[in-house]
Structure 1
């Protein structure tokens, strides 16, 4: 499976060349009722042709978190908008559907089609509880070349629950979590990102007059952490105490929010995706 994932990644047409746009008639999502909504778009074999799909991982939550919505947090706007910008900012070949929109999918962790995903995105993972079967399938996906990015989970309780769940997938004694430092290649894959920004949701930011710490003293700054395999390849990256995906989902709703957060949010996202596709 590892070699198949590598071949699939190459087929995605990765190029570390900024400033080249692939011009499609793609729309950006810009808020409820305007574009998106509805039930999950479950992955099907026909969705995969070797191009890049934004694969969102489906899971069950056992508790709520303020500002979160479980697996579908920021869905489907973040998925769509990031895929549009990825096609514009790189030569990654993004899969399009019949309407010429990015062909983003939701995939169950036990679905064999998970192996067709170049990488997997999950949000609000501090509420996740995996079944034993999900643990086994996610472990196989990661150990055979897969890549997972989790975002938008805040504070100590969410961190502790997530580390418990990912620790069931990848044993901490074999796969310890570590801080990703500014000189790591993932920070400079395409864009030169100095640090991971702390971004609050646009609703929290508006309500608090511009605060970025959604849990106050319990989320003083963003954490960027990872898990690597025995060769040093990152398998899991975690953006904790920050909501990178909202910089994509909400880019069209506020010029001020866009100017402050979206350029670096897209830079972080593009760097992570290009790293995943080339390692």
Structure 2
């Protein structure tokens, strides 16, 4: 059963303490779905984050398990039966095999010239990037600056995604973009959701479209949707409050990316 392979984290706050990243190789891809996480260099440190590896590998594993349970998507499995989620450098040609690329803590990212060219090529050829779990005005401004080097803002502006957009009802009818805290912040704050206080009180849900109106990038800022997957087995109250909606959003985004 897929449910028997759910990853359960410890009481910490989403810091990646695993071994080296599981970089994808050609043999990982057979036409099934692979959860693809983007690897990048960080030039800053944000509280509660750990750069490319934030929420890794639990979010990647658990989302893959639930995607197979909740949809007809065929998820690639390793020989041990675990989902074959992968980490990819942005310059890896295998990126073209990923219908969706996921990145977190992007307020710390610094792209080099090769990464800029490769990510731009991926997006303009039909790729889809979802960035999540970056908080406050500093992280937002840094991300806007970096993604503007990939897709010039005069040509590809960042714009609000209305809640009525088809991406919010690809399979599940989701009517809001919730603010989800990391489970560690939720514990420390007694159930609070804004990790940077007033500076992150409002969730930002924006995107970048191509010339035909297809969403290429979705940004969920001031929220940590991935923790609803990573931490689903840690605390029943946290699960009940956040995980069903978090999985619905993730499934909708994946299915949109695979069909647009």
Normalising by structure 2, report the TM-score.
Answer: 0.96
- Aligned partner of 2:14 in structure 1 is none
Correspondent of 1:256 among 231, 237, 240: 237
Count matched residues: 255
- Aligned partner of 1:14 in structure 2 is none
- Aligned partner of 1:31 in structure 2 is 9
Correspondent of 1:168 among 149, 155, 158: 149
The one-character-per-residue Cα deviations of 1:74-124 (angstroms, maximum 9, x if unpaired) are: 000000000000000000111000011110000000111111111100000
Moved over 3 A (4+): 23-26
Q: RMSD across aligned C-alpha pairs, in angstroms?
A: 1.2
- Aligned partner of 2:249 in structure 1 is 268
- TM alignment of 1:9-158, pairs within 5 A: 23-24=1-2, 26-32=4-10, 37-158=18-139
- Aligned partner of 1:6 in structure 2 is none
> 2:10–2:234: 8 Å Cα contact kept in structure 1?
no
- TM alignment of 1:226-265, pairs within 5 A: 226-265=207-246
> 1:126–1:161: 8 Å Cα contact kept in structure 2?
yes
- Superposed displacement of residue 229, structure 1: 0.4
- Superposed displacement of residue 37, structure 1: 2.6
- Aligned partner of 1:12 in structure 2 is none
CA distance in 1 between partners of 2:244 and 2:18 (Å): 25
- Aligned partner of 1:219 in structure 2 is 200
CA distance in 1 between partners of 2:167 and 2:99 (Å): 16
Unaligned runs of 5+ in 1: 1-22
- Superposed displacement of residue 125, structure 1: 0.3
